[in-house]
Amino acid sequence: MYGGVNGHERYLETAVETASPARLIVMLYDGAIRFINEAAYAMQQRDYETQNTKLQRAQKILAELISSLDFDKGGEIAENLFRLYTYMYNQLVEANINDSRDRLEHVVHLLSELREAWDTIATESETQVALPAAKVSLHG
């Protein structure tokens, strides 16, 4: 079946399968930010079940980001990201317990800053990969 939900799901699968590691991290940040914003809206509506579900999904993304850190290759950067991801994870837990939209906004702010940095890295690496191919086709 083409189009509809199945078409959208296939598009997302293809996007994930073909993304660079840096672009995958950007996608994870996008997902976490979206879930936190949805949780904040649910919190405002006093829809505690949705709030909890959305925050748990954001926490799972942070747990995935934590588990993907390579401390051997990443050194101090990996250690700093570990501390930051752990801090944000704990902030989400506290926000859920105390219905704190301020904590959610704080985590979204931190994630947005990290997302911007990773997006720059991803774009630069994608450009570097595309340049040799462009040179070949221009001179070929």
User: 81-132, pLDDT tens digit by residue?
Assistant: 999 999 999 999 999 999 999 999 999 999 999 999 999 999 988 777 655 5
Say if residue 104 is exposed, middle or buried (CB neighbours under 10 Å; 0-12, 13-18, 19+).
buried
Total domains in the fold of the chain: 1
CATH number assigned to the domain comprising residue 93: 1.20.120.340
- pLDDT, tens only, 39-92: 999 999 999 999 999 999 999 999 999 999 999 999 999 999 999 999 999 999
With contact defined as beta carbons under 8 Å apart, do 109 and 29 qualify?
no
pTM score > 0.85 for this model? no
In a domain, 106, yes or no: yes
- Domain containing 56: what range? 21-125
Spatial distance between the Cα atoms of 76 and 79, rounded to a whole number of angstroms:
5
Residue 136, both tokens: 């070949």
